[in-house]
Chains A and B, each alone.
Chain A
Amino acid sequence: MTRRVGRTAALWLAPSALGVGLFFLAPLAVLVWLTTQSWDLLAPPSWAGAGNLAILGDGGLLRALLATVVIGALALAIELLGGFALAHVLTSGAPGSAVLRTLLLLPWLTAPLAVGVVARWVVAPSDGLLAHLVGARVDLVADPVAAPVIVALAVAWQGTGFAALVYAGALAAVPREVRLAGSLDGLGRWGVAWRLDWPIVAPTTAFLAVVGVVQVFGLYDLVVPLTGGGPDRATETVAMHIVRAAWERFDVGGAAVLAVAVVAVEAVLVAAILRRTAGRLR
């Protein structure tokens, strides 16, 4: 039996393992190699040693990290709280909640690029939806403080439905007795929700937080049509910063250094979230 398991396992894992090895692990190794090269995409790569590390000091990475964290935190707050609240509505059995469940899938399936285009139309300064409703210019995307908020709202538009559906599944697993006990104790509906449900669904919250971090560190498609990274790089996410370094400033070695740094930061963040949840559960 064991030998059969071994052979089957190896055979059946082979395609996906090959995929992970060739198109994830190997590229990571190549990435590390690229950090030592100087390459502008025209001439062949040449040795640069530690020269590319200078890119870490030009302030761009820090600014991009700040923008990414601000956008991510805001979006995640809306998604978690909004999704949690919506999940209660979904599980309350109110009429139309089945339709709502289906509708909430739609933003999640919409291409981020398309979401960015639509959001751009909403906030376009002179001919967008808001400008049309207000009757005057709307200077949101040109404002360094408002622009990240707009991006965060667009990201949250995409993610809140997903969070609501995931929370709904988690809430459905909360035993009825727990809720009854809560209302006997005099807690109102929202009291039950906040004091009881929220801690119980902590693993779900952690899961959504990790997904949120992964998403915001990869955020690119949505930002391009919406703000192009502007105004003055205020919404330039880390992903966009790396893409620009490689394919607009043609500094592949520098971009590789940025990429390694970004992965490190994200790993620390994800580990922190997981450790916090594991600690709470104990």
Chain B
Amino acid sequence: MLPAVAVATLVAGVLTACSEPVDDGDLTLRLWDPQVAEAYRASLADFETAHGIHVDVVVVPWADYWTQLRADLGAGAGDDVFWVNAANFQDYARAGVIAPVPADEVAARQADWAPAAIAQYTLDGRLWGVPQITDPGIGLLYNADLLAAAGLGPADVAGLDWDPAAPDDELRETARALTLDADGRHPGEPGFDPARLRQYGFGAANDLNGVLLQFLAGNGAAWQEGDEFVFASEPGVGALGYVADLITTEHVAPNAADTNPPTGGDFVRDQFLQGRVALFPTGAYNLANVAEGADFAWGIAPLPSGPAGAVSVTNSVVAAANARSDDPDGQRLLLEWLGSADGQRAIGDSGVALPAVLSAQSGYAGSWAARGVDVAPLLEVLGNGTIQPPQGARYADAAAAMESALNDVFLGRRDPESGLRAAQDAANAARGG
């Protein structure tokens, strides 16, 4: 009986393995955002009708995306087209594994592409990917129910002032009023226990895109100047030290042990979805998640405003061409489609992200308005100017090098002055000076 079972399983196994449909006519498109992937699938149905080419949309989770991409590219197994972000594209460009957008294509299309995206991905005079999405600015998501319970309304949390040099400010005051421990006490009240927080007033964390960049800009500092890290300047230390204080001294935010990279990236979002965070600084990339998962009333308020104003970062994502694709013609057709209004309309209309093609953007605000969410604060803040987003070759190495010192600052294990300086030095060293 045993041999029969063995043969049967062997045959079944081989059949299952070989049943993988490998259609050489297929193109593959890789990205990390499952919601945009859905929108792509919808729009690519039209592409297939028009050109007769099927496109397989592959989603690799963010946590694995860069390791997987590099491993697959190095082994010649990458997809035909894949998303890259600013922090990573330079390494791929310099190694020649992605192909720049042909100059004639750029000339023909650039009028309809978001200028911020073109600027972010131009290196050595070439554009290294077809712009796909461009972030509106960062804003403040609020839990309307928690606000109401504290006697506050949306207008009370719009554009909160903050100032590291002042003994107190609107942001801290409001956050304290919205923070509760398990016994219902606020920070500063006798008997308040920061180890048993039930509700967080403000989602301060070591979150570069959602928090740190805006506080740096609001205090007149910067994260990088060109490729060099400069956040340990005096205004930079003031800004980031302020954020660390919100966590360690004011106790209006979760303990950094929960939110620090590399594992804590989604903690505040998940707590917000569970109704435990009153004010959540984040961008459009979380709107779809929140819309899907929040069972309380929520809205978007304008970004808090520091001594230098309310300034946000904006990032774009491009679709890059695999230089070793085995179907360059199909690849070119796909990229043309992805860079057109037709290709991006589904993204804008579903509201999952703001398309980088300007003529496809109109559906975005409307699709959120139809759901009762006003995204104007996110779009308007960009009018105040923007802070340079992370960039440069070997950015990932620099980020890894600075991680532990930076984490220690937010854990309260190290004072901001020395911790930030150590982080900055480590990052610049890893970058190659």
Bound together, the chains give a CA A246 to CA B253 distance in angstroms of 36
Q: Footprint of B on A, CB under 8 Å?
A: 40-43, 125-126, 135-137, 139, 141-142, 228, 230-233, 247-250
Docked pose: A75 CA to B89 CA in angstroms: 43
Tell whether B196 is near chain A: CB-to-CB under 8 Å.
yes
Among the listed stretches B90-98, B110-118, B353-361, which one makes contact with chain A, having 4 or more residues with CB under 8 Å of it? B90-98
Q: Are B404 and A233 in touch, CB under 8 angstroms?
A: yes
Contact of A125 among B73, B255, B400 (CB under 8 A): B255
Are B397 and A249 within 8 A (Cβ)?
A: yes
B263 within 8 Å of A (CB atoms):
yes
Known contacts A126-B258, A137-B196, A137-B255: A232-B73 contact under CB 8 Å: no
Given that A41-B71, A228-B262 are known contacts, is A248 also in contact with B400, CB under 8 Å in the complex? yes
Type the 1/0 row for B352-379, where 1 means its CB is closer than 8 Å to any CB of A.
0000000000000000000000000000
Contacts A42-B92, A247-B71 known; list 7 others, CB within 8 Å: A41-B74, A126-B258, A136-B193, A139-B257, A141-B257, A142-B257, A228-B263
Secondary structure dominating the interface of A: loop
B258 near A42: Cβ-Cβ < 8 Å: no
The number of A-B residue pairs with CB atoms under 8 Å apart is: 53
B70 CB–A CB distance under 8 Å: yes
Distance between Cα atoms of A139 and B396 in the complex (Å): 28
Determine the distance from Cα of A247 to Cα of B400 in the docked complex, in whole angstroms: 13
B positions within 8 Å CB-CB of A: 67, 70-71, 73-74, 91-92, 95-97, 182, 193, 195-196, 254-255, 257-258, 262-263, 396-397, 400, 404, 407-408, 411
CB within 8 Å for A42 and B67 given contacts A125-B257, A137-B195, A230-B263: no
Return chain A residues, CB-CB under 8 Å to B193.
Answer: 136
Which residues from A are CB-within-8-Å of B263?
A: 228, 230
Partner among A125, A135, A249 whose Cβ is within 8 Å of the Cβ of B258: A125
B397–A232 touching, CB < 8 Å? no
* Candidates B95, B196, B396; contact of A43 at CB < 8 Å: B95
Contact B255 A41 (CB under 8 A): no
Asked if B397 contacts A247 (CB within 8 A), the reply is no
Known: A41-B73, A42-B73, A248-B67. A136 touches B404 (CB 8 A): no
Q: Is the CB of A250 within 8 A of B404?
A: no
Are B195 and A136 in contact (CB-based, < 8 A)?
A: yes
B196's contact among A41, A135, A142, A248, by CB below 8 Å, is which?
A: A135
**Shortest CB distance B58–A (Å):** 19
28 contacts between A and B (CB under 8 A): A40-B95, A41-B71, A41-B73, A41-B74, A42-B70, A42-B73, A42-B92, A43-B95, A43-B96, A126-B254, A126-B258, A135-B182, A137-B255, A139-B255, A139-B257, A142-B255, A142-B411, A228-B262, A228-B263, A231-B257, A231-B407, A232-B407, A233-B404, A247-B70, A248-B67, A248-B400, A249-B397, A250-B70
